[in-house]
């Protein structure tokens, strides 16, 4: 078109009659009008291509979203986590702060088991029920003021029957007051990275400011079942009885598990239910199948029945997509040389067993590992100090590692130690 414009310009300069000039201008306008749609059409074609690409991408994203949300949960919030690795498999509004109701008691149980491990309390210790503890409403096992029950029985009352009275009685037994115990709960929560959680009581009754999230519940649930697997001895009890011994005599009370998954789901191992008018129906469900431990958290389900059905959907989904690799035969470790130590070498061990959660089936032969010991390890060394690591790869991609730690102390060598070593060598050489 540029060449045509030049020709037209030259022609205009030659023309002298106005009519001729006018005629030529009209021709030029018509030609421009004819050519313009070509340009417009090209632009529209490009736009359509871009739109097609955008629509395709949107469609793919929609399909992915549909895939991720194929469970179609009606609960306000949910999460599915593998317990060993902490890997999240599914989530829906995981960080939304909601009322946790009685799944609060997971933290209460965690602190009880902490106290047991630290030797502060024993399972056979007797716990005296205060008037305040006995006055708790909501779910309870009807403890009376002055009644005594063992720690073992109290754990049963909390884990099986969700007893608010038993929770407060244990809080007072461990920390003196419920308030002091709640402070410890919040401190423990902070240590686990539970950023959306703030506890106001130890049992989960609706109170302003008493909040948690699905992710946070999963974190404390994971801590409880991995650090204290004995909790399953309690959380899997379907029915049991306790004996009330009061001034009026003795009477039996039946404990019935509030977690119906214990009967409904064959791989269920716990963990805790929760329900109030404001919190709606909540559940932290744990299950174990084929070496894979899963935690499914449901928050604010419309009905009690729905929390169980949605938890089952989550667990089934998890077991359909997960494949966990556990190194059952980690290579034997040799003694590690130490510079300047009282002993020339130390024994070492792995900090933990290596495991990795894959979201698909894998071949174990595609997983490799190598041991890497730190250079220039100098005394003093304390038991538990990191001296190296074992690194794992899947198809040349690093997937994780496990620390190698000292299995013994090794103090710094003194002048006397050095002198004794020299004398021993001299004596040994003279004997030879």
Does 17 qualify as catalytic in the annotation?
A: no
Catalytic residue among 75, 77, 92, 105: 105
Question: 32: which residues sit within 8 A by CB, 6+ positions away?
Answer: none
In CATH, 336-415 is 2.60.410.10: yes
Residue 120 has pLDDT above 90, yes or no: yes
- d(C-alpha 154, C-alpha 111), whole Å: 13
In this prediction, residue 427 carries a pLDDT of 75
Selected residue with higher pLDDT from 237 and 430: 237
Q: Is 162 a catalytic residue?
A: yes
Mean pLDDT of the chain: 86
CA distance 264 to 165: 28
Comparing 281 with 31, which gets the higher pLDDT?
Answer: 281
**For residue 26, pLDDT beyond 70:** no
Asked if residue 374 has pLDDT above 70, the reply is yes
Q: In which band, very low, low, confident or very high, does the pLDDT at 431 lie, cut at 50, 70 and 90? A: low
Domain ranges of the chain: 2-63, 77-321, 336-415
Q: Of these residues, 75, 77, 102, 139, which one is catalytic?
A: 102
> Which has more confidence, 350 or 424?
350
Residue owning tokens 């933990």: 352
Which CATH code, of 1.10.10.60, 3.30.420.130, 3.40.710.10, 1.10.150.170, is assigned to 77-321? 3.40.710.10
Tell which residue, 296, 265, 271, has the closest CA to residue 78. Answer: 296
Beta carbons of 257 and 237 less than 8 angstroms apart: yes
Taking the C-alpha atoms of residue 5 and residue 134, their distance in angstroms, rounded to an integer, is 99
Q: Which residue has 């003795």 as its token pair?
A: 250
Q: What percentage of the chain has pLDDT greater than the value 90?
A: 72
Q: Confidence band (pLDDT; 50, 70, 90) for 345?
A: very high
Question: pLDDT grade, residue 256 (50/70/90)?
Answer: very high
State the catalytic residue, choosing from 75, 77, 139, 162. 162
Span 52-109, pLDDT tens digits: 334 433 443 443 344 455 688 999 999 999 998 899 999 999 999 999 999 999 999 9
Q: How high is the pLDDT of residue 359?
A: 86
Q: What residues have CB less than 8 Å from 155, skipping those under 6 apart? A: 109, 112, 123, 170, 234
């Amino acid at each position: 078109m540029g060449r045509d414009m030049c020709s037209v310009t030259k022609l205009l300069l030659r023309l002298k009659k106005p009519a001729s000039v006018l005629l030529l201008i009209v021709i030029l306008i018509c030609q421009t009008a004819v050519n313009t749609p070509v340009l417009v059409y090209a632009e529209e074609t490009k736009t359509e291509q871009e739109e097609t690409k955008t629509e395709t991408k949107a469609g793919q994203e929609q399909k992915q979203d549909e895939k991720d949300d194929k469970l179609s949960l009606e609960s306000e919030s949910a999460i599915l986590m593998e317990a060993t690795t902490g890997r999240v498999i599914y989530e829906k509004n995981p960080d939304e702060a909601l009322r946790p109701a009685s799944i609060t008691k997971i933290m209460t149980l965690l602190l009880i088991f902490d106290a047991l491990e630290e030797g502060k309390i024993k399972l056979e210790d007797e716990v005296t029920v205060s008037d305040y503890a006995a006055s708790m409403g909501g779910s309870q096992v009807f403890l009376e003021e002055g009644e005594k029950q063992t720690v073992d029985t109290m754990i049963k009352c909390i884990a099986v029957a969700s007893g608010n009275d038993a929770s407060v009685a244990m809080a007072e037994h461990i920390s003196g007051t419920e308030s002091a115990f709640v402070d410890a709960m919040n401190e423990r929560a902070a240590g686990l990275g539970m950023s959306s959680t703030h506890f106001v009581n130890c049992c989960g009754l609706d109170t302003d400011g008493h909040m948690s999230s699905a992710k946070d519940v999963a974190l404390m649930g994971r801590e409880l079942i991995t650090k204290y697997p004995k909790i399953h001895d309690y959380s899997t009890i379907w029915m049991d009885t306790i004996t009330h011994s009061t001034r009026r005599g003795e009477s039996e009370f039946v404990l019935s598990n509030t977690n119906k998954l214990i009967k409904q789901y064959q791989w269920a191992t716990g963990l805790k239910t929760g329900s109030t008018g404001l919190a709606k129906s909540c559940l932290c469900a744990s299950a174990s199948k084929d070496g894979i431990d899963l935690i499914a958290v449901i928050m604010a389900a419309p009905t009690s029945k729905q929390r169980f059905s949605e938890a089952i959907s989550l667990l089934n989904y998890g077991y359909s997509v997960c494949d966990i690799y556990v190194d059952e035969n980690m290579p034997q470790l040799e003694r590690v040389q130490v510079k300047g130590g009282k002993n020339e070498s130390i024994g070492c061990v792995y900090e933990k067993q290596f495991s990795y959660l894959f979201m698909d089936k894998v071949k174990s032969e595609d997983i490799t590992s190598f041991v890497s010991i730190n250079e220039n390890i100098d005394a003093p060394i304390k038991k538990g100090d990191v001296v190296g690591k074992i690194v794992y790869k899947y198809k040349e991609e690093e997937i994780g590692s496990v620390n190698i730690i000292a299995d013994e102390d090794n103090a710094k060598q003194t002048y006397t130690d050095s002198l004794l070593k020299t004398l021993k060598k001299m004596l040994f050489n003279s004997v030879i």
